[in-house]
């Protein structure tokens, strides 16, 4: 379990915290973050540090098994106007409040629950951002969507498409590329 220094400080005196560290009852993971376990899953750390974010784009494609390309950086969606940390291992993508919660779900990865956009929302994001992806990467993901098209919720896709201003274009591309 992860703890902030503030949480520990509210529960224990400073010398008690130092003693727990010496006795290896707790471990310092990074500045201001402690754990009762020496080895912390990176996804658990991300959840702790960035509780109001959602995995999106390259990270979501990877965690949904739509690609085998491991992203160099974790990609997290955040509400526009929210605080962005300077973390070299994370790329933040801002979404307006209108789109932030659209398709948000929870999946389990390595026994850690993470907030992530569902496959239907990620199909919309793939089409919206297709020009920023290399041809081979884009085609790999589209081909994987074709393989699971029977499992996709068409109602959700239509709902998500209607939320975006270029809905007719999104619909045409998705029908041509996937269905």
Residue range 87-97, pLDDT digits in tens: 899 999 999 99
Is residue 56 classed exposed, middle or buried when 0-12, 13-18 and 19+ CB atoms within 10 A define those classes?
Answer: buried
**pLDDT value of position 137:** 98
Cα separation, 170 vs 63, in Å, equals: 23
Show the tokens assigned to 77. Answer: 């969606």
Parts of the chain with a pLDDT under 50? none
- What is the pTM assigned to this prediction? 0.92
The set of residues, in sequence order, having a beta carbon less than 8 Å from that of 58 and lying 6+ positions away, is 67, 69, 71, 75
**pLDDT value of position 85:** 80
Q: How far is CA 31 from CA 22, 42, 79, 141, 160, in A?
A: 17, 15, 25, 37, 39
**pLDDT value of position 166:** 82
Show the tokens assigned to 118. Answer: 């569902």
Residue 23 φ then ψ, to 5°: -80, 0
């Amino acid at each position: 379990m992860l703890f902030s220094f503030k949480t520990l400080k509210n529960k224990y005196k400073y010398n008690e915290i130092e003693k727990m560290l010496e006795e290896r009852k707790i471990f310092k993971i990074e500045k201001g973050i402690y754990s009762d376990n020496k080895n912390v899953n990176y996804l658990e750390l991300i959840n702790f540090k960035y509780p109001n974010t959602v995995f999106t784009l390259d990270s979501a494609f990877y965690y949904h098994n739509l690609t085998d390309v491991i992203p160099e950086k974790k990609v997290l969606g955040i509400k526009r106007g929210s605080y962005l940390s300077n973390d070299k291992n994370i790329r933040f993508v801002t979404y307006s409040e209108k789109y932030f919660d659209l398709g948000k779900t929870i999946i389990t990865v390595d026994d850690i629950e993470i907030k992530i956009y569902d496959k239907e929302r990620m199909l919309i994001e793939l089409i919206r951002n297709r020009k920023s992806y290399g041809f081979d990467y884009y085609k790999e993901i589209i081909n994987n969507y074709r393989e699971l098209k029977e499992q996709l919720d068409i109602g959700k896709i239509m709902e998500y498409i209607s939320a975006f201003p270029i809905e007719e274009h999104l619909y045409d591309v998705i029908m041509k590329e996937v269905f």
